[in-house]
Protein backbone atom coordinates (compact mmCIF):
# COMPACT_ATOMS: atom_id res chain seq x y z
CA UNK A 1 0.00 0.00 0.00
CA UNK A 2 1.38 3.38 -0.97
CA UNK A 3 0.29 6.86 -0.14
CA UNK A 4 -0.17 7.89 -3.80
CA UNK A 5 -2.98 6.89 -6.12
CA UNK A 6 -1.63 4.76 -8.96
CA UNK A 7 -2.66 6.61 -12.12
CA UNK A 8 -2.02 3.45 -14.17
CA UNK A 9 -4.76 1.48 -12.43
CA UNK A 10 -7.34 0.54 -15.07
CA UNK A 11 -10.85 1.98 -14.71
CA UNK A 12 -13.58 -0.07 -13.06
CA UNK A 13 -16.50 -1.15 -15.24
CA UNK A 14 -20.00 -0.50 -13.90
CA UNK A 15 -22.43 -2.65 -15.91
CA UNK A 16 -26.20 -2.37 -16.18
CA UNK A 17 -29.10 -2.95 -18.55
CA UNK A 18 -31.16 -0.60 -20.71
CA UNK A 19 -33.77 -0.10 -17.98
CA UNK A 20 -33.69 -0.08 -14.17
CA UNK A 21 -35.00 -3.66 -13.83
CA UNK A 22 -33.05 -5.04 -16.80
CA UNK A 23 -30.41 -7.54 -15.64
CA UNK A 24 -28.67 -8.03 -19.00
CA UNK A 25 -25.69 -5.74 -18.21
CA UNK A 26 -25.28 -4.59 -21.82
CA UNK A 27 -24.13 -1.05 -20.97
CA UNK A 28 -20.88 -0.12 -19.27
CA UNK A 29 -19.69 3.10 -17.65
CA UNK A 30 -15.97 3.14 -16.83
CA UNK A 31 -14.94 5.01 -13.67
CA UNK A 32 -11.65 5.76 -11.95
CA UNK A 33 -10.77 3.01 -9.49
CA UNK A 34 -9.70 5.50 -6.79
CA UNK A 35 -9.84 9.23 -6.29
CA UNK A 36 -6.74 11.16 -5.38
CA UNK A 37 -6.88 14.00 -2.87
CA UNK A 38 -6.91 16.40 -5.84
CA UNK A 39 -9.92 14.59 -7.36
CA UNK A 40 -11.77 14.76 -4.04
CA UNK A 41 -11.09 18.49 -3.68
CA UNK A 42 -12.19 19.16 -7.27
CA UNK A 43 -15.43 17.24 -6.73
CA UNK A 44 -16.18 19.04 -3.48
CA UNK A 45 -15.45 22.43 -5.05
CA UNK A 46 -17.66 21.58 -8.03
CA UNK A 47 -20.48 20.61 -5.63
CA UNK A 48 -21.03 24.24 -4.66
CA UNK A 49 -22.07 27.25 -6.64
CA UNK A 50 -21.24 30.85 -5.89
CA UNK A 51 -24.04 33.30 -5.29
CA UNK A 52 -23.91 36.94 -4.40
CA UNK A 53 -25.90 38.53 -1.61
CA UNK A 54 -28.53 40.89 -2.93
CA UNK A 55 -28.12 44.54 -2.05
CA UNK A 56 -30.62 45.87 0.45
CA UNK A 57 -31.24 49.33 1.76
CA UNK A 58 -29.69 48.55 5.12
CA UNK A 59 -26.65 46.72 3.66
CA UNK A 60 -23.39 48.54 3.31
CA UNK A 61 -21.98 48.60 -0.25
CA UNK A 62 -19.22 45.98 -0.36
CA UNK A 63 -20.83 43.68 2.22
CA UNK A 64 -23.86 43.22 -0.03
CA UNK A 65 -21.75 42.06 -2.98
CA UNK A 66 -19.78 39.36 -1.14
CA UNK A 67 -20.12 35.90 -2.67
CA UNK A 68 -21.07 32.89 -0.62
CA UNK A 69 -21.07 29.18 -1.40
CA UNK A 70 -24.36 27.33 -1.74
CA UNK A 71 -24.50 23.53 -1.96
CA UNK A 72 -25.87 22.19 -5.22
CA UNK A 73 -28.81 19.83 -5.38
CA UNK A 74 -28.20 16.12 -4.69
CA UNK A 75 -28.32 15.40 -8.43
CA UNK A 76 -25.87 18.26 -9.04
CA UNK A 77 -23.50 16.75 -6.47
CA UNK A 78 -23.73 13.35 -8.16
CA UNK A 79 -22.99 14.90 -11.55
CA UNK A 80 -19.96 16.71 -10.09
CA UNK A 81 -18.61 13.32 -8.93
CA UNK A 82 -19.40 11.58 -12.22
CA UNK A 83 -17.78 14.38 -14.23
CA UNK A 84 -14.50 13.63 -12.44
CA UNK A 85 -14.85 9.84 -12.14
CA UNK A 86 -16.23 8.66 -15.49
CA UNK A 87 -13.60 7.92 -18.12
CA UNK A 88 -15.83 6.48 -20.83
CA UNK A 89 -18.92 4.47 -21.69
CA UNK A 90 -20.21 1.91 -24.17
CA UNK A 91 -23.34 -0.05 -24.94
CA UNK A 92 -26.68 0.41 -26.68
CA UNK A 93 -27.78 3.13 -24.24
CA UNK A 94 -24.83 5.27 -25.37
CA UNK A 95 -24.88 4.29 -29.05
CA UNK A 96 -23.56 7.14 -31.17
CA UNK A 97 -22.76 9.35 -28.13
CA UNK A 98 -19.03 9.80 -27.60
CA UNK A 99 -18.14 10.38 -23.94
CA UNK A 100 -16.68 13.74 -22.99
CA UNK A 101 -16.74 15.61 -19.67
CA UNK A 102 -18.79 18.45 -21.08
CA UNK A 103 -21.74 16.19 -21.95
CA UNK A 104 -23.29 16.05 -18.45
CA UNK A 105 -25.47 19.20 -18.66
CA UNK A 106 -27.16 17.79 -21.79
CA UNK A 107 -28.17 14.44 -20.28
CA UNK A 108 -31.90 13.85 -19.78
CA UNK A 109 -32.21 13.43 -16.01
CA UNK A 110 -35.73 11.92 -16.25
CA UNK A 111 -34.48 9.10 -18.49
CA UNK A 112 -31.04 8.64 -16.93
CA UNK A 113 -31.26 9.34 -13.21
CA UNK A 114 -31.59 5.61 -12.41
CA UNK A 115 -28.23 4.68 -13.95
CA UNK A 116 -26.58 7.91 -12.75
CA UNK A 117 -27.49 6.90 -9.19
CA UNK A 118 -26.24 3.35 -9.80
CA UNK A 119 -22.86 4.54 -11.10
CA UNK A 120 -22.56 7.13 -8.32
CA UNK A 121 -23.22 4.45 -5.70
CA UNK A 122 -20.39 2.32 -7.15
CA UNK A 123 -18.04 5.33 -7.14
CA UNK A 124 -18.84 5.88 -3.45
CA UNK A 125 -18.14 2.20 -2.70
CA UNK A 126 -14.75 2.42 -4.42
CA UNK A 127 -13.82 5.57 -2.51
CA UNK A 128 -15.10 4.89 0.99
CA UNK A 129 -12.39 5.87 3.48
CA UNK A 130 -11.03 3.35 5.92
CA UNK A 131 -12.90 3.17 9.16
CA UNK A 132 -10.23 1.24 11.05
CA UNK A 133 -6.50 1.50 11.27
CA UNK A 134 -4.65 -1.42 9.71
CA UNK A 135 -3.38 -4.11 12.07
CA UNK A 136 0.10 -3.35 13.35
CA UNK A 137 2.82 -5.43 11.75
CA UNK A 138 4.89 -7.51 14.12
CA UNK A 139 8.46 -6.34 14.46
CA UNK A 140 11.08 -8.88 13.37
CA UNK A 141 12.96 -7.95 16.56
CA UNK A 142 10.07 -8.84 18.88
CA UNK A 143 10.69 -11.57 21.47
CA UNK A 144 9.40 -14.97 20.47
Alpha helices, H only, the chain: 37-46, 61-64, 74-85, 109-126
Q: Cα–Cα distance between 141 and 15 in angstroms, integer? A: 48
Give the model's confidence band at 142: pLDDT under 50 very low, under 70 low, under 90 confident, else very high. low
76-91 tens-digit pLDDT: 889 999 999 999 999 9
Indicate the average pLDDT of the chain. Answer: 86
Res 63 pLDDT > 60: no
DSSP annotation string for 59-99: S-HHHHT-EEEEEPPHHHHHHHHHHHHEEEEESGGGTT---
pLDDT for residue 64: 56
95-116 tens-digit pLDDT: 999 999 999 999 998 999 999 9
Amino acid sequence: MGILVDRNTPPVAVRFGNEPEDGLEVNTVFVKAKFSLGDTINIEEASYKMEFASATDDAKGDEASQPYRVPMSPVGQMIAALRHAVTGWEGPLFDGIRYRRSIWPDIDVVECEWWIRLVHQRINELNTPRTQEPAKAKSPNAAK
